[in-house]
Amino acid sequence: MVTAYVMIKANTANVKQLSDAIHGVDAVESCHIVAGDVDLIAKLTADNPDGILEVVGEELRGLEGVEETQTYLTMSEPAAT
């Protein structure tokens, strides 16, 4: 399993509606509206890096209002507590 965090810049005034659309993508575990250089941060999981690439390239970037994305793949999972 591969986890990635996607930073999303939006070109829409209705970031809440875009967040709701992102939540509707199967690979998305969570999506948060944030303040800073980006407007949203989404957490994705897939079976492999190609799965992440497919979701970002074909689904997230295709959503109306998505201007730019940056994807960060995790190198390890958090330690169990």
**CA gap 3, 31 in Å, rounded:** 13
Domain definitions of the chain by residue range: 2-73
Sequence-distant (≥ 6) Cβ neighbours of residue 52 within 8 angstroms: 2, 4, 27, 44, 46, 71, 73
pLDDT above 70 covers what percent of the chain?
A: 94
User: Taking 70 as the threshold, does the pLDDT of residue 81 lie above it?
Assistant: no
Q: Please compute the mean of the pLDDT values over residues 9-31 and round it to a whole number.
A: 95
Q: What's the CATH number of domain 2-73, 3.40.800.10, 3.30.70.920, 3.40.50.720, 3.30.70.590?
A: 3.30.70.920
Q: What is the pLDDT of residues 59-78, one digit of tens each?
A: 999 999 999 999 999 987 76
Q: What is the pTM for the complete model shown?
A: 0.90
